[in-house]
Structure 1
């Protein structure tokens, strides 16, 4: 994967980890490839490549992303988290109700998401009141996709190579 391993990329990888979009099976061969292809790979990549526990991985990546000298990240990274959750929904890793609940909780906690928690909680209430209508789910999903389109596409672009690393990892285990 060709990417500049700067703090903003590290923060995005941290968000992908925090949202459970990726885990060690996704980043193991990514780290391995970076280490092989660079004369002086970043220490955080070397360290990440040795960790399986998600909490350790998040700590390593975020320690680098938030290290001195401090770099302010754009608020759009909060929306990137919603994009990660949406991709998990599209991949059937989350139900629609779980997506709305997790997104609402995240928006409530950080308040920098372009849509506040009410956006997600109202949709969740309507979805529950409709007895989990598939028709309503599809309409709501389209609304969220439209609202977070740029972030969802950005997440997809960054996630796609990690899927290849995941598949490589799975093949290596056979």
Structure 2
């Protein structure tokens, strides 16, 4: 196989893999009933005049499936952390016990579960768009090369196989996440 064609296929595979890893990161942030430190990954706290991620100024733990505990490295930050969690609009009501901030994660309602499934489907569709975009770019690059018709058509088939494999991986990831969200 032509070196240029192999390079284009490798680049396309990397791009499609990046779409899948982005999807996995996005789905981790969608909560599925049990508490996870990733739920607070978007919380930013005012720390010495700048916005700092919560994970950089405190330990975030899950003592049980329904509770998150946030223990700051400086006790003076407790009220700022509490305010930041409320301002993040995550639907949590943090409690401050003087040592740490404790968050009880409410169980999901059926309506909220359906919203989360819809959000997960949207993320999966974005990942599919990324994969298809990579396919389109690869096909454009292949057509711009000075190669034989046979080599071009074989390369296009390879690109389509890559696309189909990645789309089916995305569907499998989405199906697993849907099952996790809908499990009571």
Shorter-chain TM-score tier:
under 0.3
More strand by share: 2
TM-score by length of 2: 0.26
Larger Rg: 2
TM-score by length of 1: 0.27
